[in-house]
Structure 1
Amino acid sequence: MPGVRARHMARHDLPRVIAIENEIYSFPWSPGNFSDSLEAGYDCWAFDDGSGALVAYAVVMWIPDEVHLLNLSVAAPRQRRGLGRAILEWVSADAARRGARGMLLEVRPSNLPALRLYERSGFERIGVRRRYYPAPDQQREDAWVLFRRFGAQAGQGEQGGHDSPEVGGMR
């Protein structure tokens, strides 16, 4: 995936972020969710293709000694090519380098591609949040709570950190 770089998300990225969000999710985050995340000082990452075109993003909230991955999304045309995994590993390495002991996230049990990604990345199911997500016909879907403990090597190597904006060997 040559040419993908990480940078801090900025307000001017929000129209593209929201467009991607609306394109790929039946129940997308609202513009206010993204704006509030920026204002709260969460780690909001934008990933561009080198020409400045935003192709993915991630939102990470720090809790005392771990991080909570709130959103990791890849534009539809770039999905199923390993970009999500590369971003997940980059975000994990960045958090580990900065002192996080692990990462927590919620995922829909019906989101099989995401579940495969997280399982292959070492996440384990630690709980369930009942009726967490909106679903069709005014229903609610549970969320599986997953956690990945970072190992000693998670914060090392060429994938992580603010000093290295390359994502998973991608520029």
Structure 2
Amino acid sequence: MSFTLRDLAYEDIGTVGELEQELFPTDAWPLEMFYTEFFQPDTRRYLLAEVDHRVVGYAGVMVLGATADIQTIGVLPSFEGRGIGRAMLTELLHEARARGADNVMLEVRADNPRAQQLYTRFGFEQIHTRRRYYRDGVDAWVMRLLLPAEEGPRA
């Protein structure tokens, strides 16, 4: 199975809102929030993952100064474990570095070991726990990745 990544287009926001409701029913962002995010390209970038022209995942990053925040990553359960989340996270980290970030933050549900493992494989470390962060009372792990400086060309 192959997939492609592309930037979120205005016309995709409704589809992303539907996926958000399916993937995160307790804590889904309202559709208006995706529109707000979309119209802030100076500090945001959102991606879609597609299989056979069907949106199966999405992800976004916000970069303010030296700090980036992974806003969201979601992949339909039937497409998990195929490298889609890893590819989107890789692209978001590249974007963060390109925009000048030297550290990346995110929150992940304490009861989501699959996502925690993905982030840990990328070098994220848990630095804090936000108690009862999610609407259903589940804690959030705050995780951080320090981005190493990119090496320039050797003389």
TM norm. shorter chain > 0.5? yes
Q: Cα 1:78–1:153, aligned 2, differ >3 Å: closer, same or farther? A: farther
Q: How does 1:21-170 map to 2 (within 5 A)?
A: 21-27=20-26, 28-41=28-41, 42-49=44-51, 51-135=52-136, 140-153=137-150
Write the distance in 1 (CA, Å) between the matches of 2:91 and 2:97: 10
Indicate conservation of the 8 Å contact 1:23/1:76, yes or no: no
Identity of aligned residues (%): 32
Letter in 2 for 1:17: V
Gapped regions of structure 1 (runs ≥ 5):
155-171
CA RMSD in angstroms comes to: 1.9
Q: CA deviation digits over 1:96-155, x for unaligned, max 9?
A: 1332112100011001111111111100011122221111xxxx222111000112349x
Gapped regions of structure 2 (runs ≥ 5):
none
CA deviation after TM superposition for structure 1 residue 3, in Å: 4.0
TM-score, normalised relative to structure 2: 0.85
Q: CA deviation digits over 1:45-104, x for unaligned, max 9?
A: 22333x532222112111221210110111232112121112111211222133211210
TM-score, normalised relative to structure 1: 0.77
Higher relative contact order (CA 8 A, sep 6+): 1
